[in-house]
Amino acid sequence: MLPKEIIKEIKEKETDIKSLIFVGCGASIADLYPAKYFLEENSKEIRVSSYTANEFNYATPKSVNSNSIIITASLGGATPETVEATIKAKKLGAYVISLTKEKDSPLAKANPDYLIVHGFGKNYASKLEKMTIALQLAVEVLNQFEGYDAYQEMLNGFNKIYDLIEESVLSIVPQAKEFAATYKDEEVVYFMSSGATQNVAYATSICLFMEMQWINSGNFHAGEFFHGPFEIVEEGVPFVLFMNEGKTRPIDSRALTFLQRFDAKVTVLDAKDFGLSSEISKEVVDYFNPMLLTAIMRVYAQQLAEARNHPLTKRRYMWKLEY
């Protein structure tokens, strides 16, 4: 079923949805963030939150009941804590929607009310399906339960984002190779962004760099940069800044100005360079930065992995030990 139909069916059963909660781990909870950000900014009534799955399991919010929708996501569908959260949310009577790429996974078998099987391996756009579908669900919740003036602009954005991702990744391999050559020996790399993209910085730092490249890393909101992290800036300290188009761009620009002032080593991935706002309406452009910038970063990470001879699939603990 499509996001619109799923939310319509839930509304036919329960007109009084009071909360929407996003649950997942690692890249999956980060991928749900743009949807949370969108709803938090635009909803006047519905309470919105997100949890890493075991936080949800051990300290379950009291609001989980038949007046709530829980969206759980696990790419491989086998992360035990996300499966457990799905079962728990169902038991508490919530409407549960699960996202995964594996239709026969433990998550699928946890019997959510709605299972959305998304793509991943086909191309860069497909890697962003989970994030985009979660945002579509959030938009439908807002529009159907409260009304949303920019609904049509969002639909236009959804129609354009996948093609824009595919066009954008075509041209960036030379820059990605340059990034790889200049960052491959760094011992630590810091990531920051703002707005809907703030957890792209988080996911890049904890998953692509720490997990998949074993490179030390830190990440923070570009606004928070001035409330602690900027003290470590000096010439050559490596940063990656995800620059948004939209309302929070001044926050990103302020951080960039500071980094340049003290000659930090900074790579800027700027949605503007890929024409995001020429394709997507100004009113809603903020929410589409994370899809585009995640895809660009993936190309950069792939080149880094090749330059370091350290495949993105290499692990020493994950899925190898009991933990």
Ligand X SMILES: O=P(O)(O)OC[C@H]1O[C@](O)(CO)[C@@H](O)[C@@H]1O
Q: Which positions lie near ligand X, rule CB under 6 A?
A: 25-28, 74-76, 79, 82, 207, 211
Minimum gap (Å) between residue 315 Cβ and ligand X: 8
SS (H, E, C) 18-46: CEEEEEECCHHHHHCHHHHHHHHHHCCCC
Minimum gap (Å) between residue 152 Cβ and ligand X: 32
End-to-end Cα, the chain, rounded Å: 36
Of residues 27 and 69, the one with the C-beta less far from ligand X: 27
Of residues 143 and 205, the one with the C-beta less far from ligand X: 205
Nearest CA-CA partner of 28 in 292, 294, 314, 321: 294
Minimum gap (Å) between residue 247 Cβ and ligand X: 28
Minimum gap (Å) between residue 24 Cβ and ligand X: 6
- Tell me the residue nearest to ligand X as measured from the CB: 26
259: left (phi over 0), alpha (psi -120 to 50) or beta: alpha
In contact, 18 and 46? CB cutoff 8 Å: yes
Minimum gap (Å) between residue 146 Cβ and ligand X: 30
What's the rounded Cα separation, in Å, for the pair 62 and 219?
Answer: 30
What's the rounded Cα separation, in Å, for the pair 219 and 231?
Answer: 14
Minimum gap (Å) between residue 30 Cβ and ligand X: 8
Of residues 148 and 300, the one with the C-beta less far from ligand X: 300
Of residues 82 and 198, the one with the C-beta less far from ligand X: 82
Of residues 76 and 119, the one with the C-beta less far from ligand X: 76
What's the rounded Cα separation, in Å, for the pair 274 and 170?
Answer: 11
Of residues 84 and 245, the one with the C-beta less far from ligand X: 84
Minimum gap (Å) between residue 252 Cβ and ligand X: 25
What's the rounded Cα separation, in Å, for the pair 152 and 266?
Answer: 37
Of residues 203 and 240, the one with the C-beta less far from ligand X: 203
How big, in percent rounded to 5, are the helix, strand and coil portions of the chain? 55, 15, 30
As given in the structure block, the two tokens for residue 8 are 């319509």
* 19-24: strand order across its sheet: 47-52, 19-24, 68-73, 95-100, 114-117
